[in-house]
Structures are given as C-alpha cells and as structure tokens.
Amino acid sequence: MNRIAKVFATLKKQNRKALIPFITAGDPNPQITVQLMHQLVQSGADIVELGVPFSDPMADGPTIQRSSERALKHHVSLNGVLDMVSEFRKTDTNTPVVLMGYANPVEAMGFSVFAAKAKECGVDGVLVVDYPPEESAEWVQCLEQQEIDAIFLLSPTTPQERIAQVAKLARGYVYYVSLKGVTGASHLDLQDVGAMLTQLRQHIALPIGVGFGIRDGTTAKAVAGLADAVVVGSRIIEEIEKSSETELLNNVGSLIGALRKAIDEN
C-alpha cells in the first residue's frame, strides 16, 4: 500500500476527510517552497499537491497563472521541482506528494526518465491536466512501473465514456472539478456536486476529491460532507500573494488550520 492509499485508509477508519492543498513550486521564490510544504502538513494537510510551473496553464485562472509566472521568473524547472520533493523527503517520509502540471515538461524529459526520477525523489502521484485518458495508456504504464499513481480529472461535462475510461486508468484518487471554468472561480453549486458524485461513484471505487471554487471553511465543510477529499488551490495562492515573506508561513498555516477545523466538523 503506497502513501496515498495509506492516508485514505487511515482517514476512512477515523471517519474523516482528506485536505489536499495546492501550491506552485517556486512561488513566491524557490527557497521557501519546501518550508511551505512542511507548513501545510503541520497545519493539517493530508496530501500536498505541488504545481509544476508552466508558461501556459490553460486550466488555471489568473491567480494560479500568476503563481506560475512568479516561479518561472526564478527559472524553476521540472528538475528543480523534483529536487524540492527530494529535500522535503529528508524530513517527511509519510505525507504523499502529488505533482500537478502540464504535458510539455514531461514530454521534454520523456515518460520513463521522468517516472524514474519522480520515484527516486519520493513523488506518490502525478496529475497531468492535458493528458486525456483515451491517450494515456503508455503514460499510466510508465508510472505504474515506478509505483506512482496516475491521477485524473473529471468535470461536470465529462461524458460517460470518458468516466469509464478514467475508472479503468486512475490510481490513488480522482480529482473532480466542481464547476465549469478555471481555477479560482466561485460559483460552486453544492447540489450539482452532490448529484455528480453520486453518479461518479457508480463507476469509480477510488476516493474522489473535489476542487475549484472552495474558498473558506464553510464551503470546505460542505464539500467534505459530499466528497472524500477537499482540494484547495487559488485561495492559498492568494494568501501567499498578499503576505510579506516574514508572515507568509504563519498566514498560510492559519488558513490551512481553519480549513482543517471546518472539514473535521462533519
């Protein structure tokens, strides 16, 4: 059982839901990323999603786009992100780390080389936004050979055929995008989310995390009542943007702590 499976198994026994925060590696600077990852865990994160900065993050709204731009100004590369995971693993061998990003950096490195490096560094899962499941068999196989979970996205507009495809290929957990739009949007309809999760669970046995549009404890608590995990990204990036470097870790920690408390109230 890998780290992701262990986390969900432990939480299920405790009747609790996972909190999965997202940050972009290298934002606001590369030196603070590993400290931020540890802060997320200390404040209540169960799994850390680490964004690989990319010049054209088409699924992301303005907030996460800006975080990629800040990281790229520091020349943060995929190799650099893997180095950050290695550094994190020196003192945290338990918390799952999922890389989230786009196809180009992985394609440039090559599937097999990337998968081997990711395994060596301690990566547990990878979500590549623009790898459609219909074309992902080789990709999933490369990850499986290194015991890394292939995470896939589903959305309100995903057709039944693709849901069935994801059900076959996905490992670890499935990330359900709760609304039509990009990250950071705020028009979250919980009734729609609940109905869709009921439908998805007819096909998918894995835990399902819900992200996009979760901005505070109230929405986090409501989503935790429906899903197996709550994914929060843009709201954390906003906190990073508005915090001075001396306040950043404490401010992000306070935000994660508040989300953790709200989720555990279910």
**Cα–Cα distance, 176 to 93 (Å, whole number):** 27
Exactly one of 60, 149, 228, 239 is catalytic; name it: 60
Residue 165 has which token pair? 């495809």
Exactly one of 27, 46, 49, 239 is catalytic; name it: 49
**Cα–Cα distance, 239 to 121 (Å, whole number):** 28
Is 130 labeled as catalytic in the residue annotation?
A: no
Q: Contact at 8 Å (CB) between 53 and 75?
A: no
Nearest Cα residue to 81 out of 50, 60, 56:
50
Return the bridge partners of 149, or none. 125
Question: What is the full DSSP assignment across the chain?
Answer: --HHHHHHHHHHHTT--EEEEEEETTSS-GGGHHHHHHHHHHTT-SSEEEE---S--TTS-HHHHHHHHHHHHTT--HHHHHHHHHHHHTT-SSS-EEEEE-HHHHHHH-HHHHHHHHHHHT--EEEETT--GGG-HHHHHHHHHTT-EEEEEE-TT--HHHHHHHHHH--S-EEEE-SSS-TT-----HHHHHHHHHHHTTT--S-EEEESS--SHHHHHHHHTTSSEEEE-HHHHHHHHHS-TTTHHHHHHHHHHHHHHHHHT-
Is 60 labeled as catalytic in the residue annotation?
A: yes
Q: Give me the active site residues, please.
A: 49, 60
